Amino acid sequence: MHETVRAIFNALSPFFWAGKGVIALAAFAVNYGEFWLVEQLRSSNNPVAQSLASLEPLPRNEQLAMFQHMSRLVKAILKLGKCICEAFSLQSHKYFRPDEPVYNSMMAQIPEYTYWIIRSIVICQSNLNAYGYTTSSNIEASNLSMLVEKVNELFSVMRSQLDLCYQKAEGNRTAEVFQKLKRLTEMTSHKDNVIILKALISENEDMPLYDGYTKSPVSIESLGKKTVLLYLSELKHNYKSPALSISIISEMYLATGKKPENYEILWVPMLERSSVTTPEKETSMFNDLRNKMKWLSFRPLVA
């Protein structure tokens, strides 16, 4: 086993560490995908498909436990591989400094992480090669289970390191934005809020806001010379009672005697990075909520 892993490392020596893992995963994905395709063909009513599938060995019942552990292992190494690619992409992050100790510590461990990815791939491939021909033992299934735990443990460590790196980057971004806003407030007239809003929300987009009343995009320039009430809230919390807090604020503001056309309420939902586990779900939640509002909104900010 160790000799096979070493031979793969030698073959992949021209590539950097993320590349080694990606290439090994891509090569394994071809065989793993073919295996799943054959399994699906067996249940097909197409006679040609069934004939093709019959050329492949049938799995034994005693191998099912081993295959379940192998599927879990494939998912685990995919997660770890994505983390490795993410670590290298951090180098081009606008607000991240690669000289951070936590980043250097993480990068020093990537050779070990890559070794376990390739070792896992070799073990999975050897099990695929034997699938349907040999009887799986409880020892083999147990070894796969322990390997799943090992790779998941490495993933947890690296995910924690990446989260710390993002916290560092967010801290740098916050400090830069704060200093920029401080300079702008000192240099800009209080009547000119467009420059400050652009610096705070979005400088490069023409129509970054959304009007829940007209269901159309809106530019920041449309807020010029208006009093803008920024409402920051957690997306999930606001989803439970979308209009309550905003309606109270709106009524209080109208009680001051201001005309509705002279002010706007802008909702900016906030998300913690650790809570963004299903981006599609958060996006759907945000779109559903903003369409129920009659005020302006900006896409969720991740903190």
DSSP string for 115-138: HHHHHHHHHHHHHHHHTTTSPPPH
Shared-domain flag, residues 106 and 212: no
| Residue 114 CA: distances (Å) to CA of 21, 76, 85, 117 | 6, 13, 11, 5
Residue 143 half-sphere exposure toward CB, CA atoms < 13 A: 10
Q: Exposed, middle or buried, 191 (CB in 10 Å: 0-12/13-18/19+)? A: exposed
Q: Which residue has the higher pLDDT, 266 or 55?
A: 266
**Single-letter amino acid code for the residue at 138:** N
Q: Exposed, middle or buried, 155 (CB in 10 Å: 0-12/13-18/19+)? A: buried
pLDDT at 272: 67
- Partners of 270 in the β-ladder: 234, 301
- Three-state secondary structure call for residue 291: coil
- Three-state secondary structure call for residue 15: coil
The size of the chain, in residues, is 303
Shared-domain flag, residues 95 and 198: no
Q: How far apart are CA 58 and CA 69, in angstroms?
A: 18
* pLDDT grade for 125, boundaries at 50, 70 and 90: confident
Average pLDDT, the chain: 79
Kindly state whether residue 76 falls inside one of the protein's structural domains: yes
Which range scores top for mean pLDDT: 33-37, 227-231, 242-246? 227-231
Shared-domain flag, residues 164 and 199: no
Kindly state whether residue 187 falls inside one of the protein's structural domains: no
* pLDDT grade for 279, boundaries at 50, 70 and 90: low
* pLDDT grade for 162, boundaries at 50, 70 and 90: very high
Kindly state whether residue 31 falls inside one of the protein's structural domains: yes
**Single-letter amino acid code for the residue at 238:** N
* pLDDT grade for 117, boundaries at 50, 70 and 90: very high
Shared-domain flag, residues 159 and 233: no
Q: What is the mean pLDDT of residues 87-103?
A: 92
Shared-domain flag, residues 114 and 10: yes
pLDDT at 198: 84
> 210: domain CATH number?
3.40.30
* pLDDT grade for 109, boundaries at 50, 70 and 90: very high
pLDDT at 266: 87
Q: Which residue has the higher pLDDT, 135 or 93?
A: 93
Shared-domain flag, residues 150 and 30: yes
Shared-domain flag, residues 204 and 166: no
Query: Is residue 80 over pLDDT 80?
Result: yes
| Residue 80 CA: distances (Å) to CA of 3, 77, 86, 152, 282 | 23, 5, 10, 8, 24
Q: Can you list the alpha helix ranges (DSSP code H) found in 188-258?
A: 194-200, 235-240, 244-254
Kindly state whether residue 250 falls inside one of the protein's structural domains: yes
Kindly state whether residue 203 falls inside one of the protein's structural domains: yes
Q: What is the mean pLDDT of residues 233-239?
A: 66
Query: In which domain, by residue range, is 122 found?
Result: 2-174
Query: Is residue 161 over pLDDT 90?
Result: yes
- Partners of 33 in the β-ladder: none
Kindly state whether residue 121 falls inside one of the protein's structural domains: yes
Kindly state whether residue 72 falls inside one of the protein's structural domains: yes
Kindly state whether residue 183 falls inside one of the protein's structural domains: no
pLDDT at 148: 93
pLDDT at 191: 63
Which residues, including other chains, have CB under 8 Å from residue 122's CB and lie 6 or more apart? 1, 4, 5, 8
174-200 pLDDT, tens digit per residue, is: 888 888 878 877 776 656 788 888 887
| Residue 219 CA: distances (Å) to CA of 205, 211, 222, 223, 268 | 8, 10, 6, 8, 15
Q: What is the mean pLDDT of residues 280-287?
A: 80
pLDDT at 63: 59
Q: Which residue has the higher pLDDT, 154 or 278?
A: 154
Query: Is residue 133 over pLDDT 90?
Result: no
Candidates 157, 118, 98; CA nearest to 2 is: 118
Shared-domain flag, residues 161 and 232: no
Count of Cβ atoms closer than 10 Å to residue 13 Cβ: 8
* pLDDT grade for 50, boundaries at 50, 70 and 90: low
Q: What is the mean pLDDT of residues 247-259?
A: 64
Shared-domain flag, residues 170 and 232: no
Q: Which of 174, 203, 223 is the last residue of a domain?
A: 174
Q: How far apart are CA 91 and CA 162, in angstroms?
A: 12
* pLDDT grade for 271, boundaries at 50, 70 and 90: confident
* pLDDT grade for 245, boundaries at 50, 70 and 90: low
- Three-state secondary structure call for residue 91: helix
Shared-domain flag, residues 118 and 231: no
Q: Which of 111, 144, 174 is the last residue of a domain?
A: 174
Whole-prediction pTM value?
Answer: 0.69
Work out how many domains the chain is built from and give that number.
Answer: 2
**Token pair listed for 242:** 């979308």
pLDDT at 189: 62
Query: Is residue 145 over pLDDT 70?
Result: yes
Shared-domain flag, residues 209 and 259: yes
Shared-domain flag, residues 170 and 210: no
Q: Which of 174, 207, 234 is the last residue of a domain?
A: 174
**Token pair listed for 241:** 């009672």
Classify 35 in phi/psi space as left (phi over 0), alpha (psi -120 to 50) or beta: alpha
pLDDT at 41: 65
